[in-house]
């Protein structure tokens, strides 16, 4: 099934991508090979995932035209000084065996980062052609306002945790008028969505699983991209099946009734979310 794309800042991002967190080392290679063979073209990795070598090997062997792929990587929060950012992308490109990535992101903000300098360096890396676009993850609304309204950084997207149990209404309300997509990470609430009874009930009506309903709910929303991770081929295939599900107002109302304050990814170095 054709995966719809979103155009932003000169790149074209498939709305259903493939996450690779918690698959360190060589074991990630066959998993990414399987995802590529099934039709995924958007692969999300990061220096911190310790699997860029494996992702690179899978890409090299897949024989897919570079232009048909969207590859995202990210720099860790201890590498946001200009030189460190450059080095981070250099190492990522070597490991991924690529001349450029499609999207280079700040993985987490850091309290002592110099945000204008970070964004200026990222912009330079873009100008030099080592990444086609830049973005940020885990930024709060005030941080985004600084990046976009003050620094005027050409962010292609913003990646944050988003699933049926966590609202991102504030960020979406700010990003949508600017036509900046939101990339939903942990779109299955790290697997929890698959066993949710409300999502399962909605799924029964559509002959779909609870996990497919969680993804369909995200893809039903303007400007939202989802990057589920699935180690098993059956789940990879099943997640692609979410593209066929069309929710109606009754389904949307049922999902709106789920709790919306459950954030599962909040490490000690995370920013104050409600700041």
One residue of 213, 227, 240, 247 binding ligand NAP per CB under 6 A: 227
Tell me which residue of 61, 73, 166 sits closest to 122, measured CA to CA.
73
Token readout for 180 is: 């900046």
What is the per-residue DSSP string for 15-35?
A: SB-EE-TT--STTHHHHHHHH
Could you give the C-alpha distances from 227 to 15, 177, 184, 186, 221, in angstroms and in order?
8, 23, 6, 7, 14
Residue ranges for the known binding site for substrate are: 107
**Of how many residues is the chain composed?**
275
Q: Which residue has the tokens 């009734």?
A: 257
Q: Which residues make Cβ contacts (< 8 Å) with residue 194, sequence separation at least 6?
A: 188, 209, 210, 211, 214
* Alpha-carbon 4 to chain mean position: 15
Tell me the C-alpha distance between 114 and 118, whole Å: 6
Interaction between residue 28 and ligand NAP (CB under 6 A): no
CB of 102 to ligand NAP, least distance (A): 14
Q: Which of 5, 21, 30, 260 binds ligand NAP (CB under 6 A)?
A: 21
Which of 16-24, 169-177, 197-205, 253-261 is the region at the interface with ligand NAP (rule: CB under 6 A)? 16-24
**Nearest CB to ligand NAP, comparing residues 242 and 253:** 242
The reply to whether 211 sits near ligand NAP by the rule CB under 6 A is yes
* Distance set, CA 204 to CA 170, 211, 251, 252 (Å): 31, 12, 11, 14
**Number of amino acids touching ligand NAP (CB under 6 A):** 27
Site for ligand NAP in 135-194 (CB under 6 A): 137-138, 159, 185-191, 194
In the complex, least distance from residue 255 CB atom to ligand NAP, rounded to whole angstroms: 16
Q: Give the active site residue among 40, 49, 162, 185.
A: 49
- Contact code string over 101-120 relative to ligand NAP, x by CB under 6 A: ------x-------------
**Residues facing residue 161 across a β-bridge:** 185
User: From the CB of 199, what's the least distance to ligand NAP, in Å?
Assistant: 11
Q: How far is 200 from 214, CA to CA, in rounded Å?
A: 9
Nearer to ligand NAP by Cβ, of 125 and 240: the residue is 240
Q: Is 239 in the site for ligand NAP (CB under 6 A)?
A: yes
CB of 10 to ligand NAP, least distance (A): 22
Q: Which is nearer to ligand NAP, 24 or 128 (CB)?
A: 24
Active site residue 264: no
Residues comprising the binding site?
Answer: 107
Please name the residues in contact with 155: beta carbons below 8 A apart, sequence gap of 6 or more.
9, 134, 135, 136, 147, 148, 180
∠ CA 100-91-123, rounded to 5°: 50
Query: Nearer to ligand NAP by C-beta: 107 or 130?
Result: 107
x-marked contacts with ligand NAP along 42-61 as a string, rule CB under 6 A: --x-----------------
Give catalytic residues, as residue numbers.
49
> Can you give the binding site for ligand NAP, defined by CB under 6 A?
19-21, 44, 107, 137-138, 159, 185-191, 194, 211, 227-232, 235, 238-239, 265
């Amino acid at each position: 099934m054709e995966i719809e794309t979103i155009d932003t800042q000169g790149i074209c991002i498939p709305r259903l991508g493939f996450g690779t967190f918690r698959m360190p080392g060589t074991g990630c290679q066959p998993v990414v090979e399987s995802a590529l063979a099934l039709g995924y073209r958007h692969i999300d990795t990061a220096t911190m995932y310790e699997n860029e070598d494996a992702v690179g090997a899978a890409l090299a062997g897949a024989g897919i035209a570079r232009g048909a792929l969207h590859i995202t990587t990210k720099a860790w929060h201890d590498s946001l000084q200009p030189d460190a950012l450059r080095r981070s992308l250099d190492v990522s490109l070597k490991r991924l065996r690529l001349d450029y990535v499609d999207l280079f992101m700040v993985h987490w903000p850091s309290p002592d980062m110099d945000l204008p300098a970070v964004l200026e360096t990222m912009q330079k890396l873009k100008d030099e052609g080592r990444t086609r676009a830049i973005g940020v993850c885990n930024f709060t609304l005030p941080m985004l306002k600084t990046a976009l309204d003050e620094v005027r950084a050409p962010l292609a997207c913003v990646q944050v945790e988003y699933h049926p149990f966590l609202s991102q209404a504030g960020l979406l309300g700010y990003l949508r008028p600017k036509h900046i997509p939101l990339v939903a990470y942990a779109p299955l609430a790290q697997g929890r969505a698959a066993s949710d009874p409300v999502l399962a009930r909605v799924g029964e009506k559509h002959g779909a699983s609870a996990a497919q309903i969680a993804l369909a709910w995200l893809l039903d929303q303007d400007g939202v991209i989802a990057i589920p991770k699935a180690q098993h081929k059956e789940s990879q295939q099943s997640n692609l099946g979410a593209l066929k599900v069309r929710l109606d107002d009754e389904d949307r109302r049922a999902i709106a009734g789920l709790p919306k304050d459950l954030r599962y990814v909040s490490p000690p170095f995370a920013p104050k979310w409600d700041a």
